[in-house]
Amino acid sequence: MIELTKKTITILAPIERVFEHVINMENYKFWFPDVIAIQANDTRPHASVGKTYIETLAIAGSDQTLTIKVVECVKYTTFVTQGDLVGILPQMTVCFWENELGCQLELSYHSREPALNEQSPIIRGLRENLAPRAEVGLTQLKHLLENP
């Protein structure tokens, strides 16, 4: 896997609240930029491994639709999803830690596409695009959860 970006933030809210908000991927559109829509694709609970969502996002001036699948979820610790976007095969990993202020959250994105490498132009472009979006997304998530 190739890391695309990794960002960390402290949210002044209980870890339980942060975790429950993040693992419900239908909330993703409320805090991550350029996510146009996302909805559950099955009736499994949000944290269930195998749960799928259909996501529409704006990429390079066009709307792309992909399926997101929950591949790992450890309560109050880790949440991992993988998307089927051809040519990128994205993975999102969110790690949670309790600290004296509330919840520290680390958000990272990777490409699982075996045909790509660190020097691939698409990787450089994704890094340039995702880093500021992840920063904005975490700031928006913090605002959402600290100001209910």
Walk along the chain (148 residues) in steps of 10 and give the mean pLDDT of each run: 97 97 97 96 95 92 93 98 95 97 96 95 92 97 93
pTM, to two decimals: 0.95
Q: Mark out the alpha helices in the chain (DSSP H runs).
A: 15-23, 28-31, 121-146
Is the separation of the CB atoms in 26 and 39 below 8 Å?
yes
What pLDDT is recorded for position 80? Answer: 98
What pLDDT is recorded for position 62? Answer: 86
What CA–CA distance (Å, rounded) separates 56 from 36?
5
What pLDDT is recorded for position 108? Answer: 98
